[in-house]
Amino acid sequence: MLKMDCFQRAYYEKAFLAEFLEKKGTTFQDFFSTIMEKAHPSDFQRIRPWGNQGDQKNDGYLKTTRTLFQVYAPNEMKGSEAISKIDEDFNGALPHWEKYFDKWVFVHNSRMGLGPEVEKKLLELESSNKQIKIENWGFEELRQILFSVEDADIASILGPAPSYQDISNVGYEEIKVLLGTIAIEENLNEDDVRPVPKEKVIINKLSSSTDVLLKGGMRKAHLVERFFNEWHDPNYGDRVATAFSDKYIEYRDQGLLPDAIFSKLQDFALGERRKEPRYEAAGYAILAYLFEQCDIFERTEGEKR
């Protein structure tokens, strides 16, 4: 497998964020375990509940570093519940595993990190158990582990990624297939590439990875414009723009992070064609066009006038 290019890296950054935010409970634990197995083959041990013994408060074990992991991924992180979970799992693990671990890691799914009361609890726990090092792992720790593994392993976890070559290969037909699908659901020259509105990227707090995907998509945005100009219904472009705008407002009002909204809009563009690189690439062309036309995300002051 060839080394991933910048566009694929940006895609995987977005894909990891989406998986991290969406997975809860045992599905998040499985996601964590899969990453760890790729990063530490033959070393990390995935632990499953076994009969009436359960997992004995062990969600994973790294043998060489004598590290025991406990994973906590609720639908909503609440300080008091997290503290109770830490107490229950750490103290519950000691009778079964104390002689086998020197480090205990609390793995969580809070994108913004843990609150001060939870962090204080972990420090108190370490202070009263000086023989054991205690850490918490969240988004950035798992991200760094994921991107430390081979590209083929990343692809096995997150699926195939569109490349710059896929963007170059996007033609009118791919655009037509995606926009035609949206029509059913909603009843609704590459040498002259328009720039992505940088100020709009900044005010919407989109990441550098999203910026890379938008810039790649802009290389084929002219095909989206051509589709709307040639479509038999002259109002179709407006209906598609409204459908995406409504989706943006829906996701924004749910409190999703800007990059997560971008991923959701990409899913909306793709419909049933997710994980097909040529259509993923075409989807970014559609989003780039709508972004530049001010149909999705917040407008700059200049665009409001």
Give the strands of the sheet with 67-72, arranged side by side: 44-46, 60-62, 67-72, 103-108, 133-137
Report pLDDT for 53.
Answer: 61
Q: Which fold has domain 6-156?
A: Trna Endonuclease; Chain: A, domain 1 (3.40.1350)
Domain boundaries defined on the chain: 6-156, 162-304
- 3-state DSSP helix/strand/coil % of the chain, to nearest 5: 60, 10, 30
pLDDT of residue 112: 87
Number of Cβ within a 10 Å radius of residue 64:
9
State the pLDDT at residue 304: 57
Q: Mind listing the pLDDT tens digit of every residue in the chain (305 residues)?
A: 568 999 999 999 999 999 999 999 999 999 999 999 999 999 999 988 775 566 689 999 999 999 999 999 998 899 999 999 999 999 999 999 999 999 999 999 998 899 999 999 999 999 999 999 999 999 999 999 999 999 999 999 999 999 999 999 999 999 999 987 664 444 434 445 567 778 898 999 999 999 999 999 999 999 999 999 998 888 888 999 999 999 999 999 999 999 999 999 999 999 888 888 999 999 999 999 999 887 788 877 665 55
DSSP string, 221-285: HHHHHHHHHHSS-TTHHHHHHHHHHHHHHHHHHTT--HHHHHHHHHHHHHTT-TT-HHHHHHHHH
State the pLDDT at residue 272.
82
Q: What is the structure's pLDDT at 16?
A: 97
Name the strand (E) or helix (H) holding 72: strand 67-72
Whether the pTM exceeds 0.75: the reply is yes
DSSP alpha helix (H) spans, 63-171: 79-97, 116-128, 139-146, 151-158, 164-169
> What is the rounded distance in angstroms from the CA atom of residue 73 to the CA atom of residue 84?
14
For the chain, helix (H) and strand (E) counts, in that order, are 15, 5
